[in-house]
Amino acid sequence: MSKYTPTATQAWQALTRLAEEETGSLAEHFDDDAHRRDKYSLEFHELYLDFSKNLVSDAALSGLLDLAKEAPLADRIAAMFAGSKINLTENRAVLHTALRRTHAGPLLLDGTDIMPDIHQQLLSMKSLAESIRSGEFRSITGQAFTDVVNIGIGGSDLGPKMVCTALREFTQPGLRCHFLSNVDGAEVATLLEQLAAETTIFIICSKTFTTHETLLNAETAMDWLAASLNINKPQQTNHCIAITAAPETARNYGIADDNILIFWDWVGGRYSLWSAVGLSICISIGAKHFQEFLDGAALMDEHFRSTGFDHNMPVLMAMLGIWYHNFLGAQSTAVIPYCERLEYLPAFLQQLDMESNGKSATLGGTRSTITTGPVLWGQTGTNGQHAFFQLLHQGTRTVPVDFIAAIEESSGSAHQHQVLLMNMIAQSAALMLGDYSPDIHKHYPGNKPSNVLLLQRLDARTLGMLIALYEHKIFVQGVIWDINSYDQWGVELGKRLATDLMADTAVADRDPSTAELIRRTRDEPKP
């Protein structure tokens, strides 16, 4: 039973008073403090965070850090890294950080050191990936694979797809990765039409190996392989690999033992790209770059667990979010990467954040009385400038923005990259400063907050750091809100009802709306 109540803390009450009293603008904060930029920025390896354009005074920031200290944050950080079962509703540890752990020494879970199994699975994944890349691992017709299709959904799809897209400059020529998640049959058919069965390998990613959408797509893929190659049980060949926490179920499906890689129930789906679920990433960018990806995340892990809150990137970003959403009334956050390779990052972070902290039950089993998980959304710049930036600049809502960009660009026009970066910097400045006009339609009020996150370059190491930064930011906010960031019971009801409807031929006992929708989609006669 949780004994911590956010609103009962002295810091929460002090912040409530501050939010009512503070009237200064961002421009005034800079005018009043010549050192604000230096005080409100952090550099960690190849990441630079400028959080000076936030609607926060020194007093408010100090109060937010007091809240972090008054909350059980330090204890919860230590407990997570130690393997304590902080996922209380499922009685599980939360150890995605162990998947990228670099320092030596055992990590005990229920009295057993889990690090040997982690290292063995990582070695197996790297070995399999490299054998596919080299052509040593061959198809039933003796050919090297040219196309890899990852079949999963949620964390088993979006994370690997995001990383493969972001790091596409490191992809091996002639080797293409594709992703199937939705059960939209038209999309599955369109993809299969582009592939040659003789050189296509399917990776079925499912924690339980019972996920309905994943198995339905896998069944379609296996039928296509069987018909195209004129074979029975294609799942028993090298054309099929399983990634699962339920290896026995994968064996019963017909997957060969050598083609099964495992991860564990203490790895949440949306945090699983560091595990064997990242096989498609490892195939795409190679084992060397995949290790750099893990190493980057491990650097951020160490920063998070060992750095004081006042210089801790995840903690500071999290507490600024708390300020906006709990004290200043913001309802959403926008993530705008000025890099087209990061096109799936907003969607990935949307799942990571909203599935983690979209909760209304406290750890103590009561209904939360405060606002939790904000809506997270976004798109790449400069495209967004010609879409929703109108609302950011002149709308009635306060939407904090995270701008993300890489300073260096390894390909393409240097001039175009500079134009891209200047657009981002201009948008951040324009949101803060605004522009006065006596014509209300042309007036920009300004005072709109943003962070700017600069990566020295976009590569495996910096992407690993960036993802881990947001993972920990989300965890911190969950602790402050006294919720469990690591279950996802909210996704279960719709899935269960869909299964019931698929098996149901009689609709009379359904509510009138549902019954009519079923009748129309089944093209049944009116009763």
Pick from 127, 98, 96, 123: which is nearest to 113 by CA? 98
On whether the CB atoms of residues 464 and 416 are closer than 8 A, the answer is no
Q: What is the DSSP letter of 197?
A: G
Neighbouring C-alpha atoms within 13 Å toward the C-beta of 126: 15
Kindly tell me the burial class for residue 415, based on how many C-beta atoms sit within 10 Å of its own C-beta (0-12, 13-18, 19 or more). exposed
Q: Would you call 287 helix, strand, or coil by DSSP?
A: helix
Pick from 210, 152, 200: which is nearest to 179 by CA? 152
Q: Would you call 51 helix, strand, or coil by DSSP?
A: coil
**Residue 130 catalytic?**
no
**Residue at 250: amino acid letter:** A
SS (HEC) of 319-378: HHHHHHHHHCCCCEEEEEECCHHHCCHHHHHHHHHHHHHCCCECCCCCECCCCCCCEEEC
CA distance 40 to 333: 20
Q: What is the DSSP letter of 207?
A: S
For the beta carbon of residue 255, count every other beta carbon within 10 angstroms: 22
**Residue 343 catalytic?**
no
CA distance 519 to 513: 10
Strands (E) across 369-516 are located at: 375-377, 401-406, 450-455
According to DSSP, the residues that pair with 451 across neighbouring strands are 402
For the beta carbon of residue 184, count every other beta carbon within 10 angstroms: 12
Pick from 287, 416, 404, 281: which is nearest to 342 by CA? 404
Q: Which of 288, 311, 442, 495 is catalytic?
A: 495
**Residue 495 catalytic?**
yes
Q: Which of 3, 35, 103, 386 is catalytic?
A: 386
245: tokens are 């926490």
On whether the CB atoms of residues 218 and 119 are closer than 8 A, the answer is no
On whether the CB atoms of residues 150 and 280 are closer than 8 A, the answer is yes
Cα Dmax for the chain: 76
Give yes or no for a cis peptide into 89 (omega within 30° of 0). Answer: no
Q: Which of 292, 355, 409, 471 is catalytic?
A: 355
With tokens 């240097």, the residue in question is: 414
**Residue at 154: amino acid letter:** G
Kindly tell me the burial class for residue 493, based on how many C-beta atoms sit within 10 Å of its own C-beta (0-12, 13-18, 19 or more). exposed
352: tokens are 């990571």
The secondary structure element, H or E, covering residue 65 is helix 58-70
Enzyme catalytic residues: 355, 386, 495
